[in-house]
Chain A
Amino acid sequence: MTNTGIFKLAIASGKGGTGKTLLSTNLADYLAQKQAVLLADMDVEEPNDALFFDAENKVITPQYKMIPDWQSDRCTLCGDCTRHCKFHAVIRLGDFVMVFNELCHSCYACSDLCPEQALPMKPYRMGETSHQLLNQLQLVESRLDVGQEQAVPLIYATQKYIRELENKPAIQILDCPPGTSCPVVAAVDEADFVLLVTEPTPFGLNDLKLAVDTMRQIDKAFAVVINRQGMGDDAVENWCENEGVKIAARIPYDRQLAEQYAAAKLAWRKNTALRKALEELAVLIQQKQVQYA
């Protein structure tokens, strides 16, 4: 897909709280013992990955989206902008035009099509991206400003930020938002392979089915990781077998692991079962890297 020698692994799930962050942070830290790894938190509404690492040497970059800025002196009040905007982000009220930043999708139509150039685009802050280097691990995290509703522009801005980094590790792990709608599709867009994290419960299975549907629809190669194995029933295992969906790893149910996660501690060093799962995933990643190189 990328053909740049970089392997991008997305960690996603239909249901929230199944262990995406647990897996992303532990896997990234585990792999970074041997090689350079980039971990990117794409769950911009509620980013959590950075909680698991020391907050040293953080470089913060504000992220902007482009929105039109009305110039009253040039405007002839023709109303073209209002007619062109499908999102009702630009409205004309008598002798003035109002722009609603939160509604704007940055399509540029009003700006480019204004006959008087009265709506030049200007940057508008939507959130920020932080970047830090922890030995061999590069951590990139984007967070949407509270009050901003659109996650997708910031997800794309984060991908661009990563593309433009000078030192790009050959392995990039993308911790995605939960769900199956547009933010997830945007976040896995550039991934070479997707791991879908689920739990062996009816909720886990229902949402896994939706996530698998989505991956098939957008033509992404994927495998499943079952977290909290043993906590519920066998329905996820059975469904995967019937559907021919590969289970790449299983992380056994363990209250101690949940406690470690709660305290924002990386658990793989102490938890042999988790480490075993990570070892299996490391092998899978190596195989896929060769395949995609």
Chain B
Amino acid sequence: MREIIVLSGKGGTGKTSVTAALGVLAAGKAVIADCDLDAANMHLLMQPEVLKKEAFFSGELAEIDPEACINCGMCEEVCHFDAVHQDAEVYDINPLRCEGCGYCEVVCPTNAISMHVRRSGDFFVSTARTGDPMAHAHLDAGADNSGKLVAKVKEEAKRLANQHQRDLILVDGAPGIGCPVVSSLAGVNYVVLVTEPSASGLHDLKRLVEVLQQFRLQAGCIINKADLNHDQAEAIRTFCFENGIEMIGEIPYDTAFTAAMIQGKTIVESDNQLKQIMDKIYISIQHKINVL
């Protein structure tokens, strides 16, 4: 079983569109995992039929029992997250601020504070319109996007791959370089980077590649909107060459990219130059993971 993750550093470079296109090209062979939980969009292109939905819990949250509380204020005093407030004589926890450290629970003299598991979203097992299994999730507003839900989506994708005998897991990763990205790298065989030739695109790519190097992961790069800025595109090619990252394709700035999205289709589902380019990209990725 091989696992490919698509990452970008910067958001909005076309990462999800590229992942979905690869998903269509790999139809019948793959399991799709949407690990970009903060802005999960894969379902818009994959139109999955949901087979299973379950609530997902992560971390803890303090709760004050007003009956037992004697308003001593110890909890407020020890909280380093400014999560405890006194409102009209009553102490209350701000769930958006509470980190779930449990310090207040330990110091409360009347045991009025208890820690509870915190709901952070919903988790789905589905069948994508390609017929392939898909694992995805929906994060609640303001929830802690810790690595745990990412790990859960990936774990389910692995289980689905075993169950349906698929040898490829295709992961849409999160932007940035933080917790959700690091979590999504466990067990990955190959990283596909989707960037754009802008100062921000290159800057964010460099930071992401530093993270990948810490994990000693092999990567290939796609430049989307490649003709937008010649100098920046050249700088990306040079950067990739110097860091042992293979260029696996360049996609021109093309309105067909957005047009496909609006129809709920991927860029390989109508006959245009994007399809030919993606076909080549798919072949070189296939080659890459076969030799790995």
Tell whether, in the assembled complex, residue B142 and residue A180 are in contact, meaning their CB atoms are under 8 Å apart.
yes
Q: Report A-chain residues with C-beta under 8 Å of the C-beta of B255.
A: 231
Does B1 make an interface contact (CB < 8 A)? no
**Count of residues in A whose CB is under 8 Å from the partner chain:** 57
Tell whether, in the assembled complex, residue A105 and residue B211 are in contact, meaning their CB atoms are under 8 Å apart.
no
Complex: how many Å from CA A261 to CA B261? 23
Q: Report A-chain residues with C-beta under 8 Å of the C-beta of B210.
A: 146-147
Complex: how many Å from CA A44 to CA B150? 21
Tell whether, in the assembled complex, residue B211 and residue A213 are in contact, meaning their CB atoms are under 8 Å apart.
no
Q: A231-B258, A262-B232 are in contact. Are A207 and B39 (CB under 8 A)?
A: yes
Does A87 make an interface contact (CB < 8 A)? yes
Chain A residue nearest to B16 (CB atoms) is A203
Complex: how many Å from CA A231 to CA B9? 24
Tell whether, in the assembled complex, residue A214 and residue B39 are in contact, meaning their CB atoms are under 8 Å apart.
no
Tell whether, in the assembled complex, residue B60 and residue A179 are in contact, meaning their CB atoms are under 8 Å apart.
no
Does A136 make an interface contact (CB < 8 A)? no
Chain A residue nearest to B255 (CB atoms) is A231
Tell whether, in the assembled complex, residue A264 and residue B198 are in contact, meaning their CB atoms are under 8 Å apart.
yes
Tell whether, in the assembled complex, residue A87 and residue B101 are in contact, meaning their CB atoms are under 8 Å apart.
yes
Complex: how many Å from CA A217 to CA B37? 18
B 97-152 contacts with A by CB, 8 A = 99-103, 106, 115, 139, 141-145
Tell whether, in the assembled complex, residue B199 and residue A46 are in contact, meaning their CB atoms are under 8 Å apart.
no
- Give the interface segment out of A55-63, A107-115, A239-247: A107-115
- Give the interface segment out of B155-163, B173-181, B282-290: B173-181
Does A67 make an interface contact (CB < 8 A)? no
Tell whether, in the assembled complex, residue B141 and residue A217 are in contact, meaning their CB atoms are under 8 Å apart.
yes
Q: Report B-chain residues with C-beta under 8 Å of the C-beta of A16.
A: 10-12, 39, 175
Point out the residue from B100, B139, B258 that lies within 8 Å of A180, measured CB to CB. B139
Chain A residue nearest to B142 (CB atoms) is A185
Tell whether, in the assembled complex, residue A51 and residue B179 are in contact, meaning their CB atoms are under 8 Å apart.
no
Tell whether, in the assembled complex, residue A201 and residue B261 are in contact, meaning their CB atoms are under 8 Å apart.
yes
Does B196 make an interface contact (CB < 8 A)? yes
Chosen A-B contacts, 15 in total, with CB atoms closer than 8 Å, are A15-B41, A17-B12, A18-B11, A45-B178, A46-B207, A84-B106, A86-B60, A109-B103, A146-B207, A203-B261, A210-B141, A232-B261, A258-B253, A261-B200, A263-B198
Identify the 9 closest CB pairs spanning chains A and B, nearest first: A17-B12, A16-B11, A179-B38, A107-B101, A264-B199, A262-B198, A181-B145, A262-B229, A45-B176
